């Protein structure tokens, strides 16, 4: 079952006896787990009907002892096992498979099983997948982050344009908990229905509308040398917010997509957006960059970025300040003809 389906069912009070939430992305696991904790029971009911256990200090038998109890003056009892991947001898459990075959209908049992996988070839693995709400929480890839941001903003009753979404995505990375926290800061003092602007982003979460990785990509794509130099100089003076490795990774991704653009046969906006994994709004930027750099030139730029990455890590190179390294890189890119 996917995340949205689970969330909608919980909102409709359609609860299942057992939830097994697993995977490498803790954000979605925590969201479902805390939602069950908040939605099933009232605050008064939680005193007698909510048990939160931690895998590292409990066993499967202790978990099931809690799960087999009946609710007190409530419709359900909720048992949540945090960090369930640390449960003692879970894989060898004999009691859990038996419980999964016939769970207590008035208990909602939730396993938060992070960063690990249960062997699907075992009896327990097969039962977990067939007898529970089994949710696999995968980490978002970089190109999926803008949609995640858009969804988070929309759910709070706000609007934002693709450039603002891209600005946030390019600077907040893929840590979804961090993104959610920053979005919370962003909308804290705004009225619902507001169109969020780059000025709001700069004022509320400190991402400069003029000096950010998104603007650097645009400046390089346009071959705007003064603008690009100004931005990397700013980065060099603010290395806490713009590490050279982060900048190089983002530029490598940008130019790799430009390189791919050169080999697309169908240059329609829809196909380019799909193949490059970008919002259709930005197709024109990649088209412009591809016009400014042919495929052999982009290949050379990718080589420069790899070389710069080695130097930034001190491989076969004397130490150099981040700002100077980036300015040298920009100069070399602009000199390619």
Round to whole Å and give the CA distance between 49 and 67. 10
Dump pLDDT digits (tens) for 5-28: 999 999 999 999 999 999 999 999
- Specify the pLDDT at position 174: 84
Strands 77-82 and 50-54: parallel
Residues of the chain with CATH 1.10.8.60: 142-205
For 142-166, write each residue's pLDDT tens digit: 888 888 999 889 988 998 888 888 8
Average pLDDT, the chain: 91
Could you read off the pLDDT of 65-93 as tens digits, one per residue? 999 999 999 999 999 999 999 987 787 88
Class of domain 213-335: mainly alpha
Q: List, by residue range, all CATH 3.40.50.300 domains of the chain.
A: 3-137
Q: How far apart are CA 331 and CA 223, in angstroms?
A: 10
Give the pLDDT of residue 162.
Answer: 87
pLDDT for residue 142: 81
Q: Is 219 exposed, middle or buried (0-12, 13-18, 19+ CB in 10 A)?
A: buried
Confidence of residue 302 (pLDDT cuts 50, 70, 90): very high
pLDDT at 319 over 80: no
Say what the pLDDT of residue 105 is.
95
Residues of the chain within CATH 1.20.272.10 domain(s) are: 213-335
pLDDT value at position 220? 96
Domain 3-137 part of CATH 3.40.50.1370? no
Burial of 28 (0-12, 13-18, 19+ CB in 10 A): buried
Question: Architecture of 142-205 per CATH?
Answer: Orthogonal Bundle (1.10)
Instruction: Estimate the crossing angle of helix 213-221 against helix 162-172, to 10 degrees.
Output: 110
């Amino acid at each position: 079952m996917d995340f949205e389906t689970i969330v909608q069912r919980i909102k409709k009070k359609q609860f299942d006896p057992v939830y097994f939430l697993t995977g490498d992305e803790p954000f979605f696991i925590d969201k479902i787990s805390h939602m069950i904790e908040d939605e099933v029971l009232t605050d008064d009911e939680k005193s007698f009907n909510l048990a939160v256990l931690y895998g590292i200090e409990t066993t499967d038998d202790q978990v099931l002892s809690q799960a087999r109890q009946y609710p007190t003056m409530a419709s359900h009892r909720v048992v949540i096992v945090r960090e369930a991947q640390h449960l003692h001898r879970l894989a060898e459990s004999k009691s859990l498979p038996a419980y999964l075959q016939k769970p207590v209908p008035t208990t909602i049992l939730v396993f938060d099983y992070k960063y690990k996988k249960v062997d699907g070839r075992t009896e327990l693995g097969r039962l977990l997948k067939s007898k529970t709400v089994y949710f696999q929480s995968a980490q978002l890839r970089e190109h999926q982050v803008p949609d995640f941001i858009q969804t988070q903003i929309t759910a709070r009753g706000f609007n934002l344009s693709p450039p603002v979404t891209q600005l946030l995505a390019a600077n907040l990375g893929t840590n979804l908990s961090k993104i959610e926290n920053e979005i919370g800061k962003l909308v804290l003092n705004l009225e619902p229905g507001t169109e969020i602007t780059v000025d709001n982003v700069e004022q509320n979460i400190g991402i400069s509308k003029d000096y950010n990785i998104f603007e650097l990509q645009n400046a390089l794509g346009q071959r705007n040398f003064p603008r690009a130099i100004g931005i990397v100089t700013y980065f060099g003076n603010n290395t806490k917010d713009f590490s050279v490795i982060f900048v190089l990774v983002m530029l490598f991704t940008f130019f790799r997509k430009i390189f791919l653009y050169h080999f697309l046969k169908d240059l329609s906006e829809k196909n380019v957006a799909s193949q490059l994994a970008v919002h259709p709004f930005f197709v024109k930027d990649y088209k412009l960059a591809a016009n400014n750099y042919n495929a052999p030139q982009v290949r050379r730029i990718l080589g420069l970025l790899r070389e710069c990455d080695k130097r930034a890590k001190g491989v076969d190179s004397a130490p150099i300040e981040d700002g100077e390294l980036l300015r040298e890189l920009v100069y070399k890119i602009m000199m390619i003809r």
